[in-house]
Structure 1
Amino acid sequence: MVAVTNEVVLQGRISRPPEPKVLPSGDTVWVVRVVVPRADGRAGADWFDCALWSGRLRRSARGWATDDVVRVEGVLRRRFYRTAAGPRSVVEVEATGARLVRRLTRPARRA
C-alpha cells in the first residue's frame, strides 16, 4: 500500500505585502502570496496563497515585503465560506512553518 501524505513546500518570491484578513468568525489570518517559477522547464510561474494562522508565523510575516524570498511548509486545504452571493471556497496552503530566505535589497532611507 502506498502512503498518502499532504505536504507542501514552496520557496518563492512574495508578490505583494502580507495582509491580515478578519474572518466573519472574528478570527484573523494573515495571507501571503508566493510566486514560484515552474520547475518543468516551461516558461512562467505559479502563485499560491498561503494562510498563516499561528501567532508566531503572523509575527514573522509582518516584516516581509514584496519581492522577499520565503520558504513555506504546510498542507493543502480547501476552506469554505459564505458570501452575499452564496457559498464559496478557496484552496490555499495552510502554513505550519515559514521563514525568510532572502530579503529584497532596499535602498537606504534618506535622513
Structure 2
Amino acid sequence: MQDQVDDEVAANDVRLVGRLTAEPVVVELPSGDTLVTFRVSVQRGAAPGSAVAGRAAGQRVDSVPCTAWTPRLRRSIVAWRPGDLVEVSGSVRCRFYQAGGATRSRVEVEASAARIMRRSTAA
C-alpha cells in the first residue's frame, strides 16, 4: 500500500522560464544518438521559508543544463539565439558516463517541450 501512495505523490516535472545563455550545441554520442544541449539562466527565487536564499553569496541566477532528444524538439531548439526568453518543460535526469577512466555524473533537465517566449533583441 505504501508504494501506491508514494507513486501518487511522486513527481518529476520541471518548468523553467529564463534566458538562453549560449548557442545550442548538437552532440552525436558514440552510440550514434544525437541530442541538443543548451543552458537556461533562471532567476533564483527564495527557498520556501527563506526570504534571502542564495543572496548572501550574491548568486542571483542559476544556469541549468538541458538536453533535447526528439528530432522535432532538436530542430526547434537549434534555431534559438543567446538571450532568447524560453520556456522548457521536462524532467530532471542524472546521467552517468565514462571520462578519463572514471565514471562521472551530470544532472540536467531532459526537455519534453520547449518554446521561445520572446526573441532576444541583440543581433
* TM-score, with structure 2 as normaliser: 0.81
Which residue matches 2:95? Answer: 79
Q: Where does structure 2 lack aligned partners over 5 or more consecutive residues?
A: 47-51
Corresponding residue for 2:40? 34
Larger Rg: 2
Match of 1:99 in 2: 115
The equivalent residue for 1:16 is 22
From the two aligned structures, give the one with the greater helix fraction: 2
1:57 corresponding residue in structure 2: 73
- Structure having the higher strand fraction is 1
- Identity, in percent, stands at 43
Instruction: Please tell me the residue identity of whatever aligns with 1:90.
Output: R
* Equivalent-residue separation in structure 1 for 2:91 and 2:10 (angstroms): 13
Which has the larger displacement, 35-44 or 95-104? 35-44
Letter in 2 for 1:75: S
Q: What RMSD in Å do the two structures reach over aligned CA positions?
A: 1.4
Structure 1 outlier segments of 4+, above 3 Å: none
What is the count of residue pairs matched by the alignment? 107
